[in-house]
Amino acid sequence: MGRVKSLSLLRSPAVRDSTGIGVAVGAAGLAFGTTAVAAGLSPAQAVFLSLFMFTGASQFALVGVVSGGGSLVAGALGALLLGARNTLYGLRLADLLGWRGARRALAAHGVIDETTAVTLAQPDRASARTAFVATAVVLGGFWVATTLLGALATERVGDLDAFGLDAVGPAIFLALLWPRLRGDGGRTRLIALLGAGTALAATPFVPAGVPVLLAASAALLALVGPDRDAGTAPAPARSEEALS
Amino acid sequence: MTLWIALAATAAGCYLLKYAGLAAPRRLLDSPWLRRFATAVPVALLAALIAVEALRGEGQPLSWDTARMGGLGAAVLALVLRAPFLVVVVVAAATTAGLRALGAG
């Protein structure tokens, strides 16, 4: 029986989805390991971040500031601001997963964009739990392994500009932002434009990392006027698409 | 050593943010102001990160790198064609590498 059960588990859509996502994220891990070492981190530090920070956009943001010679405090603040969206994901997942105590503390580490998206798509608690664990484990494994691979390769190869890897970081941020630009209203696009403009305007005058923090003020625009977004879609459904 | 401390502290902070969500009372989500601001913050931050990293200069604050911008243009095209995440990233890197091999900035 146990054998049959584990075979059917392997074929379950949740596990299949998580494997597909894990492979895709693995490629990003390669880019992260590469970027981190190019920025001056050691391979051990790159793997440490993938294992213990385990939230890609924050990791890229922190490493980007380090490579730009910016202050570590600004880099850390940027990473935490980006990581704050995981708090929203956790709020959404709490009831669905229904874990308490040590399990909840362990599960918290796996609350990221991808696990949230896969888990929220499940019909009931049992499959939500399976999907969450499968996605977190598969994706985490790929993420850490490919980070190590990218970091070690970069240490040996040296100059990476020839491989176009400097385009990978912004391309990842773009792919994460895209669903919001396409799906949300004009105000979201305005916030994005204002955020980008604020950061670029501030770049010549403040240390690296700070322009991105200043750009967060563009989000205040979301508080102006009526809550139009709420009229077009139920509020809780939003964070599935709010991948960032 | 300073770098290690910064990395560990940021990692710990990121974990606490995740845990706070799983452990917090769910009615926090009901605050419309908090929700509107919190869903908008990643949009502003990501757009800023794209702009700053795309135009990152060597030795000067900002500069135009034709190969890198070409790669990002290709990424936009891939996104418009609804390509999956992995394809978008690979297309961006491959286009940038290709343009550079051809001698573009």
- The residue in chain B having the minimum alpha-carbon distance to the alpha carbon of residue A58 is B14
pLDDT digits (tens, 9 = 90+) for A44-69: 999 999 999 999 889 988 998 888 77
Tell whether B41 is within 8 A of chain A (Cβ).
yes
Across the interface, of B9, B22, B37, the residue whose CB is closest to A107 is B22
Is the pTM higher than 0.80? The answer reads no
Q: Look-up: residue for tokens 């059960």?
A: A5
ipTM above 0.95, yes or no: no
For chain A, percent of residues with pLDDT exceeding 90: 35
Q: Which residue has the higher pLDDT, A203 or A184?
A: A203
Higher pLDDT, B40 or A104: A104
Q: What mean pLDDT comes out for the span B24-49?
A: 80
Task: Break chain A into its structural domains and give their ranges.
Answer: 2-184
Compare CB distances from B79 to A175, A193, A198 and report the shortest one's residue.
A175
> Which of the residues A100, A118, A174 would you substitute to probe the B interface, choosing the one with the greatest number of B C-beta atoms within 10 Å?
A174
How far, rounded to the nearest angstrom, does the alpha carbon of residue B55 sit from its chain's CA centroid? 13
Q: Which residue of B has its CA nearest to A82?
A: B42
Is residue A115 pLDDT above 90, yes or no? no
The CA radius of gyration of chain A, in Å to the nearest whole number, is 19
Q: Are A59 and A82 in contact (CB under 8 A)?
A: no
Q: How far does A33 lie from chain B, in Å, by closest CA?
A: 15
DSSP line for B29-41: GG-HHHHHHHHHH
| A190 or A92, which is more confident | A190
**CA angle at B36 for the pair A122 and B52, rounded to the nearest 5°:** 95
Q: Greater confidence, A241 or B31? A: B31
Contact predicate A166/A201, CB 8 Å: no
- Exposed/middle/buried for residue A51 (C-beta within 10 Å: 0-12, 13-18, 19+): middle
Select the residue of A108, A171, A198 nearest B71 (Cβ to Cβ).
A171
Residue A202 and residue A72 in contact, taking contact as beta carbons nearer than 8 Å: no
Query: With contacts defined as CB-CB under 8 Å, which chain B residues touch A86?
Result: 14, 17-18, 21
A24 falls in which pLDDT band (50, 70, 90)?
low
| Chain segment A154-168, per-residue pLDDT in tens | 888 766 678 887 888
User: What residue in B sits closest to A204 (Cα-Cα)?
Assistant: B61
Identify whether the C-beta of residue A174 lies closer than 8 Å to the C-beta of residue B91: no
**What pLDDT does residue A97 have?**
93
Q: Is B34 on the interface with A (CB under 8 A)?
A: no
CA-to-CA separations, A151 to A67, A231, B1, in angstroms, rounded: 15, 46, 19
**Residue B43 and residue A244: Cβ atoms within 8 Å?**
yes
CB A70 within 8 A of CB A210: yes
Taking an 8 Å cut-off on Cβ atoms, the answer to whether A86 and B53 are in contact is no
Q: How far apart are CA A177 and CA A157, in angstroms?
A: 31
Q: What is the structure's pLDDT at A236?
A: 38
Percent of chain A at pLDDT exceeding 70: 81
Tens of pLDDT along A138-157? Answer: 889 999 999 999 999 988 87
d(Cα A27, Cα A39) in Å, to the nearest integer?
18
Nearest to A78 by CA among A213, A218, A236: A213
| Tens-digit pLDDT profile for residues B47-105 | 998 999 899 877 677 889 999 999 999 999 999 999 887 788 889 999 999 999 998 76
- Burial of B86: CB neighbours in 10 Å, binned 0-12, 13-18, 19+: middle
